[in-house]
Amino acid sequence: MPTAKILAKHVREAAKIWDRDPGFRGFRNGTTYEVRIGRKSYPPKAIASYANELAGNGILSPRDFAGAWEGKWHKQLENAGFRPEKKPDRTASMTSKRAELPMELAGLDEGAEFAEGAQHYAQHITQERNPKVVKLAKAQRWRDKKVFECDVCKFDFAKTYGERGAGYIEAHHTIPVHLMKPDHKTKIADIALVCSNCHRMLHTMRPLVDIPKLIAMRARAAKS
């Protein structure tokens, strides 16, 4: 857990990193909070992650930001002079974009949380099949990117398989089961979207790896 204080300069530097590489380490723009830095808004968790690293607190990945700790990251940013705010209600702008969503994904309310218990691996899988949170994660991705690319390797089923692959992507729950409380609420931000190969790699290799590590492994393998 973080110890050194994060400062305004760390936060500003973190924002620059995000500008250069949005989505680094698997962080995504969340649905609930944003933090204003300069003229732009940023995802607080991603900024907190990098700011902590710059402050000397080591590397924090999306899974370190599981639910209950949210208040802590917000406080850190606030102490550095940047206060995370609830995102404005975007229901109105969602409506006009619904027409662009694949049919079965439209008409979902975003930002919802789902009470789910998880004690063992089977439950991890079950969570990934929670149709509602998975649909919401996909709907959000489609709205933001208009493409379903693997978070690890960028594989796009639609590109490779055409019509048949359109809309296909698998959901991976990024919070390790052993770090979950029984009443853990799965958020959309906990769901990564991955291709079947990468998903298998995330699940079958021991020790288990997270998405940033798998991305690094692919990069290393590609070079060798």
Stretch of 28-36, 46-54, 115-123, 153-161 contacting Zn ion, by CB under 5 A: 153-161
Stretch of 3-11, 31-39, 74-82, 167-175 contacting Zn ion, by CB under 5 A: 167-175
Q: Rule CB under 5 A: which of 180-209 touch Zn ion? A: 195, 198
Distances (CA, A) of 27 to 42, 60, 126: 11, 10, 23
- Shortest distance, position 190 Cβ to Zn ion, whole Å: 11
In 38-103, DSSP assigns E strands to: 40-42, 85-86
β-pair partners for 41: 36
Does residue 172 bind Zn ion (CB under 5 A)? yes
Does residue 174 bind Zn ion (CB under 5 A)? no
Instruction: Tell me, by CB under 5 A, how many residues bind Zn ion.
Output: 7
Amino acid at 206: R
Pick between residue 54 and residue 195 the one whose CB is nearest to Zn ion. Answer: 195
Per-residue binding string, Zn ion, 96-135, x by CB under 5 A, is ----------------------------------------
Is the bond preceding residue 207 a cis peptide, omega within 30 degrees? Answer: yes
Pick between residue 139 and residue 195 the one whose CB is nearest to Zn ion. Answer: 195
Q: Give the H or E element holding residue 173.
A: strand 170-173
List all residues 6 or more positions away from 40 whose beta carbon is below 8 Å from its beta carbon: 15, 19
